[in-house]
């Protein structure tokens, strides 16, 4: 009919995760991600007393702490990375706190990377993808991206790839983790002489080739520990289009200089993730816990920018 605009036949297209990330890095001039790993025994005194009763009180204190950290580091970072286990340990109240913290971070303009490290067979992975990466009715997805394990093979990863394709999500697959025990499995030598992690990196590159954004980076990223600088360089060469998430800077002993080679595919091609050394910086500084976190985040942003060369 004349004068009547027909409703759209398709839902608005959501920008891909790597394109949203690239835009956020350009806007903030930051490649720093702050991990939200709330532990009741390490909360500031003003919150620790409230949390001592456990249950809903502890979840409320954790939520207040994370919101305060988001306010403090928001001007300096591109994303936050809530450690899902820290919230799950608090029961149903903890999960509610996680939902609230993720929503608050996104309201402030930050990307959210849920650190769940999920890994299971296809049907279960499908539920994980729905829980973290897909819209929930009229509500947006819990997070922009999720960490996951690829060690059960392609069928365990397919649901995450589908969420990337349909909903503009991202997934960071474990390639070589930052912990000391990573070598027990990930560096086992295969029959062709390569370490196992290198084979996984090739798979990540292959799977991610289907989901490259306009910025030239893929929605399928990789977790590579900054505590293994040699591996970081090799991983970048093996996965030129992957965004590399780099844990291990700070409390685990690595520095931004250890990960410089991860950034050779562009300013948004790697993210340095720091948790305890930022959110608990007040334990080392004579300052309010919020201002201490903000100051440490600002310092690390400059160090990361200098190391990346962008």
- Indicate the average pLDDT of the chain: 94
Bigger pLDDT: 136 vs 292: 292
Distance from C-alpha of 167 to C-alpha of 174, rounded to nearest angstrom: 21
16, 168 Cβ separation under 8 angstroms: yes
Q: Does residue 5 belong to any structural domain of this protein?
A: no
- Cα dihedral 297, 298, 302, 303 sign: negative
CATH number of the domain at 68, please. 3.20.20.70
Task: Look at residue 169 and tell me whether its pLDDT is greater than 50.
Answer: yes
Task: Give 214-244 pLDDT, tens digit per residue.
Answer: 999 999 999 999 999 999 999 999 999 999 9
Q: Do residues 262 and 246 lie in contact, with contact meaning Cβ atoms separated by under 8 Å?
A: yes
| Domain ranges, residue 169 | 17-308
Q: Which of 163-167, 201-205, 246-250 has the lowest mean pLDDT?
A: 246-250
What domain count does the chain have?
Answer: 1
- Asked if residue 181 is part of any domain, the answer here is yes
In a domain, 2, yes or no: no
Q: Is residue 250 part of a domain?
A: yes
User: Would you say 294 and 73 are in contact if contact means Cβ atoms under 8 Å apart?
Assistant: yes
Residue 13 has pLDDT above 90, yes or no: no
| Domain assignment of residue 9, yes or no | no
- Examine residue 149 and state whether it is found in any structural domain, yes or no: yes
Domain annotation covers residue 3: no
E strand spans, the chain: 32-36, 79-82, 111-118, 145-148, 170-176, 220-224, 244-246, 270-274
CA distance 72 to 219: 28
What's the whole-number mean pLDDT along residues 291-305?
96
Question: What six digits make up the tokens of 57?
Answer: 């009180």
pLDDT interval class at 205 (50, 70, 90): very high
pLDDT for 51 equals 87
Which pLDDT score is estimated for 8?
44
**Confidence (pLDDT) at 50:** 85
Q: Give the side-chain half-sphere CA count within 13 A for 195.
A: 16
pLDDT digits 0-9 by tens, 126-167: 999 999 999 988 999 999 999 999 999 999 999 999 999 999
Task: Give catalytic residues, as residue numbers.
Answer: 117
Does 53 have pLDDT greater than 90? Answer: no
């Amino acid at each position: 009919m004349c004068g009547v605009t027909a409703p759209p036949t398709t839902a608005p297209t959501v920008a891909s995760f790597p394109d949203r990330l690239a835009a956020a890095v350009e806007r903030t001039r930051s490649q720093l991600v702050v991990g939200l790993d709330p532990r009741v025994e390490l909360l500031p005194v003003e919150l620790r007393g409230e949390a001592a009763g456990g249950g809903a009180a502890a979840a409320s204190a954790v939520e207040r702490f994370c919101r305060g950290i988001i306010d403090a580091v928001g001007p300096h970072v591109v994303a936050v990375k809530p450690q899902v286990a820290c919230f799950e340990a608090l029961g149903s109240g903890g999960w509610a706190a996680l939902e609230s913290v993720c929503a608050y971070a996104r309201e402030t303009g930050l990307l959210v990377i849920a650190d769940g490290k999920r890994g299971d067979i296809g049907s279960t992975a499908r539920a994980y993808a729905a829980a973290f990466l897909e819209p929930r009715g009229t509500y947006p997805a819990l997070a922009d991206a999720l960490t996951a394990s690829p060690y059960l093979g392609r069928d365990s990863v397919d649901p995450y790839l589908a969420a990337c394709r349909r909903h503009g999500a991202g997934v960071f697959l474990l390639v070589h983790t930052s912990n000391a025990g990573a070598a027990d499995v990930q560096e086992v030598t295969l029959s062709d002489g390569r370490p196992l992690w290198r084979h996984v990196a090739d798979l990540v590159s292959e799977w991610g080739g289907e989901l490259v954004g306009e910025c030239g980076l893929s929605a399928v990223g990789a977790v590579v520990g900054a505590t293994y600088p040699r591996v970081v360089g090799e991983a970048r060469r093996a996965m030129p289009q992957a965004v590399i998430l780099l844990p291990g800077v700070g409390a685990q002993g690595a520095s931004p200089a250890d990960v410089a080679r991860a950034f050779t595919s562009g300013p948004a091609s790697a993210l340095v993730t720091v948790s305890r050394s930022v959110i608990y910086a007040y334990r080392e500084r004579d300052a309010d816990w919020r201002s201490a976190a903000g100051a440490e985040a600002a310092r690390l942003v400059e160090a990361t920018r200098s190391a990346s060369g962008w």
